[in-house]
A and B are shown apart, each in its own frame.
Chain A
Amino acid sequence: MAGVKKIKPPSPDFLETIKLHLDAFGVGLREAVKPSRMTVQYPRELRKRPKGFRGMLVFDISKCISCFQCAFVCPANAIHMKKAPNGKYYPCVDYAKCIFCHFCRDTCSKGAWKTTNFMDVAFRSVDEMLLTTEKLVNGPEIPEEEREDEYIVEYEVRGGKLVLKKEMSPDRIVEVED
């Protein structure tokens, strides 16, 4: 058969076997003394979110022209339009359905949708996941006493090796981005 590469199983002799055992022992010792682990201890350490991260949405009501484009484009049917007292229609987002594709943000001609660098939220019930326009305007908020994060960590390539870079957590974790 052309193109098939046959690989023979390794058959080390006695001395080679001992060397392989010692090598494995050395690797074990090295990692036990100085482990190159890169686990992020999640509630205490948060990964640094990249620029343009698709997180929770923030809605700017003054820019909205009620064109319904976000509701039309939403692939998960997560955006409902609700009539406000002033006669215009404004979107509500159902986070039970939202897939964080941010098509709504891309399609908005006036730039009324903004993103945040944050999506670690929890809801107590499914009903609460439907965010009305009033809640969307304010964006997600984390009370100071409920924050557990101490560090913001980031993976970095240093000399061809992946290392974990730690820095202290900022005072304000949620940042709104255009």
Chain B
Amino acid sequence: MLSYNALLEMFRQNSVGIPLITRKVVLYHTATKIAYIPPVTSLFAKIPVLNLIVALLFWKPFFAVLFAPGLVCMLIALLPIIWFERKVTARVQWRYGPLEISREIGGLIQPMADGMRYFFQEVITHREAHRPYFLQFPLLTFLPVLLPILVIPAGAIYAINTPYSIPIAIALISLIPMIVVAIGWASNSKYAYVGSLREALMYFSYEIILIIAAMSMVVLYGSANAIEIVKEQSVVPGIVLNPVAALVFFIAIIMATSRFPFEIPEADQEVVFGPYIEYTGIIFGVVMTIAYEKLYLLCLLFSILFLGGWNGPFIPPLGDLSPVLWLFLKAFVLMMIFVFFRTFYGRYRLDQALKIGWSTLMGFAIVSLGISLGLGAINIAGWL
């Protein structure tokens, strides 16, 4: 059992260093007198309970999951990406998209307005639903969505530094389709049933190639630790060394997050949002964002494996947040590319998607594994 002070000391030892908010701000400076605003973190340093809470918030594992690159960053990425998806699709299809709610900024606050509407909408549980599961599963999705953040590091901010971080992250992300299938079962309706079957079949078609593509990069760098993988990419990013693996991982992400042209489980023209059809209100708001949250996680993984992760110019005022910023920007640009496919693609049939996954992409995945084995054998990562 830790004492209060020991706990406080433990949090403070491993806290996030952001000079922007932990530095004193000097107001004026004369020969005899210095007046300054004390840093935000030391405001509560002497107050018994608040200092523990502040220290906990800035404790690295907690900060990683809750703020950056965790929940808060995810929400920050989510709102503009939903707006961007609707807006760019409208532009390409010669429409205007969301506009009326704030004309001056092009309807940017539309997702926020939608979310607010979800909050005040009635949550209806229909009579046939398996009520406890129907209401529980959407909230349970936060487990597989937030747990991978524990092992996805961002520079100095990480929760767990383990040599198996990439496999653990992929394994935890793979739990999300289970919840989606369970949601479809708990809804107990025709469309939800068809949707969850489609989700299961898509899961079957992309999961193997996603794992092979990620593992080929692990083979190439000879380590499954994300921190070491990013360190190896300080000069040449992984996409140059093994572009085939990058392509396979890219297409697997499209399939995994049901973006076009593989938007098969949620196909709104056919099965009307598939597994999520029976949800209303804020619970619908939660389940609708599952695919985007998964997209965010996989984009973090893509930028760590192929784009050099958090490598980028160091920004002194941000301190530990500087690598997080680079990782976030890379992931955000990737997300923009992924949602852009909605604009010009149609939708593949289920059997076509299955065939692509198990023939062409499987071939590419095995080729990428071969390339990685060859490059790993001559230890190219060590040469560069």
The chain A residues found within 8 Å of chain B, CB to CB, are 24-25, 27-28, 31-32, 35-39, 41
Q: CB of B383 within 8 A of chain A?
A: no
Chain A residues lying within 8 Å of B344, measured Cβ to Cβ, are: 24-25, 27-28
Return B228 CB to nearest CB of chain A, in Å: 34
B86-118: contact bitstring with A at CB < 8 Å (1 yes, 0 no)? 001001101110000000000000000000000
In the complex, besides A32-B92, A32-B343, A39-B94, 15 extra interface pairs with C-beta distance below 8 angstroms are A24-B344, A24-B345, A25-B344, A27-B344, A28-B340, A28-B343, A28-B344, A32-B88, A35-B91, A35-B92, A36-B94, A37-B91, A37-B94, A37-B95, A39-B95
Closest to A37 in B: B94
- List the B residue with the shortest CB-CB distance to A24: B344
Q: Which residues of B contact A27 (CB under 8 A)?
A: 344
Would you list the 5 A-B pairs with minimal beta carbon distance, nearest first? A37-B94, A28-B344, A31-B92, A35-B91, A28-B343
Total interface residues on B, CB under 8 Å, equals 10
Encoded as 1 (CB less than 8 Å from any A CB) or 0, chain B from 220 to 247 comes to 0000000000000000000000000000
Return the chain B residue nearest A38 by Cβ.
B94
Q: Which of B92, B94, B95 is in CB contact (< 8 Å) with A28?
A: B92
Complex: A41 Cα to B91 Cα, angstroms? 14
Complex Cα gap A28–B345 (Å): 9
What residues on A are CB-neighbors of B95 within 8 Å? 37, 39
Closest A residue to B91 by beta carbon equals: A35
A36 to B95, CA, bound (A): 10
From residue A43, how far is it (CB to closest CB) to chain B in Å? 10
Chain A residues with Cβ below 8 Å from B96 are 37, 39, 41
CA distance A36 to B93 in the complex (A): 9
Instruction: List the B side residues contacting A36 at CB < 8 Å.
Output: 94
Q: List 24 A-B contacts (CB under 8 A).
A: A24-B345, A25-B344, A27-B344, A28-B340, A28-B343, A28-B344, A31-B91, A31-B92, A31-B343, A32-B91, A32-B92, A32-B340, A32-B343, A35-B91, A35-B92, A36-B94, A37-B91, A37-B94, A37-B95, A37-B96, A38-B94, A39-B94, A39-B95, A41-B96
Contact partners of B343 in chain A: CB under 8 A: 28, 31-32
Q: CA A35 – CA B94 in complex, angstroms?
A: 6
Kindly state the separation between the CA atoms of A24 and B346 in the bound complex, as whole angstroms. 11
| A25, A28, A32, A39: most-surrounded residue (chain B CB, <10 A) | A28
Chain A residue nearest in CB terms to B360: A14
Return chain A residues, CB-CB under 8 Å to B340. Answer: 28, 32
Q: Please, which residues of chain B bring their CB within 8 A of the CB of A39?
A: 94-96
What is the 8 Å Cβ interface bit string for chain B, positions 324-345, against chain A (1 contact, 0 not)? Answer: 0000000000000000100111
Bound-state Cα–Cα, A125 to B214, Å: 67
Shortest CB distance A22–B (Å)? 11
A3 CA / B94 CA spacing, docked (Å): 38
Complex Cα spacing A172 to B91, Å: 33
Rounded to whole Å, the gap between the CB of A15 and the closest CB of chain B is: 13
Specify the chain B residue showing the minimal Cβ separation from A28. Answer: B344
In the assembled complex, the Cα of A36 lies from the Cα of B344 at a distance in Å of 15
Counting chain A CB atoms within 10 Å of each CB, the highest count among B92, B95, B345 belongs to B92
How far is the CB of A50 from the nearest CB of chain B, in Å? Answer: 23
Closest-by-CB residue of A relative to B100 is A41
Q: How far is the CB of B342 from chain A (nearest CB, A)?
A: 9
A81 shortest CB reach to chain B, Å: 45
> For window 257-307 of chain B, which residues contact chain A by CB distance below 8 Å?
none
Q: Which residues of B contact A41 (CB under 8 A)?
A: 96
Q: How far is B345's CA from A160's CA once the two chains are assembled, in angstroms?
A: 27
Q: Which B residue sits closest to A26, measured CB to CB?
A: B344
**Nearest CB of chain B from residue A163's CB, rounded to whole Å:** 13
Taken together as a complex, chains A and B put the C-alpha atoms of A35 and B95 apart, in Å, by 9
Within 8 A of A (CB), among B180-195: none
Q: Chain A's nearest CB lies how many Å from the CB of B336? A: 11
Residues of B within 8 A of A37 (CB): 91, 94-96
